[in-house]
Amino acid sequence: SGRVIGVEGLVVEYPVRVGFLHRRRVRAVDAVDLHLGRGEILGLVGESGCGKSTLARVVVGLASPSAGRILLDGVPVPSRRPPEMRRRVQMIYQDPGSSLNPRRTVLQTLAEPLRRHRIVPAEEIEGRALELLEMVGLGKRQLSALPRELSGGQRQRVAIARALAVEPEVLVADEAVAALDASVAGAVLNLLRDLRDRLGLTVLFISHDLATVRGLCDRVAVMYMGSVVEEGPVVEVFARPGHPYTRVLLDAVPSRSRRQPGVAVRGEPPSPLRIPSGCRFHPRCPDATALCGESNPPEARRNAQRVMCHFAWQPEHAAEPQGQVSA
Ligand code: SF4
Ligand code: MG
């Protein structure tokens, strides 16, 4: 399976107002390299504000990178993305209620992209809309429904059907089940897995929820303050996290054996306005040493796993008292 979509050296900056007079550029995404193989589901995790939604918007073409490039089937994507390239990468949002037009029936919602991208001739649109609905577990009864007549789970299925209408190769799902009840979310996750299996779809699945990522994804990338700090197969990363930040996130996942959720990441939440020197995680890292505040960590590799840390896989190294640990 070749690489379907990827980003190389991706940087996304945008201006922010600081106080009354000042403007500064903040770096929401900083030199990210990520590639997805065909039919792969990659989970992108991290705290809110870490840059994962910005990365998603760039991948689907809703925002432009400041530097670096996006590759689709190995071909660099131009900054003004042609409609044919746009068609191949589709997005599903967290809230289908606001992404669906409240005055349009499901048929009208599905007909629009079919018509715009000339997927089928006019006389076949209704038939194709019905096929799309059946593909996502809905049917004829929903064809003439308005969004308010559907449940949250049904609305998200319609949003998925609309994304599938243009026959994309890549789906980007940004917190696509975060607003749904657990059982409904589980059913939508099963649908995504099933669509990957049946259509060979490639999925970039953005989530703050590691338990969901563990159940759904093949690989996982962990983002912190605009950087990918760890990446690898889900099985390896969950069994042997190499980065202290990944370990802290995993400790916070409630498990059956441990009812109490673990501690959240201590210290101040990250702000892209104040990127620390050296390793950007050092002010919050339980394993930081003086070196960490001074120099950028190199990439460490183990099999298919890569980790940006001076002491990857060495929690026993844990900070001497003079380390840069803050309360
Ligand atoms: Fe922690 Fe240092 Fe590794 Fe950064 S480089 S994650 S501060 S141990
Ligand atoms: Mg977000």
Q: What is the pLDDT of residues 19-59, one digit of tens each?
A: 888 888 889 999 999 999 999 999 999 988 899 999 999 99
Q: What is the pTM of this model?
A: 0.91
Q: Which residue(s) pair with 82 in the sheet?
A: none
Distance CA(252)–CA(312), nearest Å, equals 20
Ligand nearest to C-alpha 318: 1
226 lines ligand 1 (CB under 6 A): no
Distance CA(188)–CA(222), nearest Å, equals 23
Domains and their CATH numbers in the chain: 3-239 (3.40.50.300), 274-327 (no CATH)
- Helix (H) / strand (E) containing 76: strand 75-76
The interface predicted TM-score of the complex, written ipTM, equals 0.96
Q: What is the pLDDT of residue 269?
A: 66
| Residue of 246, 280, 284, 287 to test ligand 1 pocket, by largest number of atoms within 8 Å of CB | 287
Q: What is the pLDDT of residues 166-213, one digit of tens each?
A: 999 999 999 999 888 999 999 999 999 999 999 999 999 999 899 999
| Residue of 289, 309, 322, 326 to test ligand 1 pocket, by largest number of atoms within 8 Å of CB | 309
Q: What are phi and psi of 184, to 5 degrees?
A: -65, -40
CA 170 to ligand 1 center in whole angstroms: 34
Starting at the earlier edge strand, list the strands of the sheet with 67-72. Answer: 22-37, 3-18, 67-72, 75-76
Q: What angle do CA 142, 148, 153 make, to 5 degrees?
A: 65
Strands 89-92, 75-76: pairing kind: unpaired
Q: What is the pLDDT of residues 213-267, one digit of tens each?
A: 999 999 999 999 999 999 999 999 999 999 999 999 998 876 655 444 444 667 7
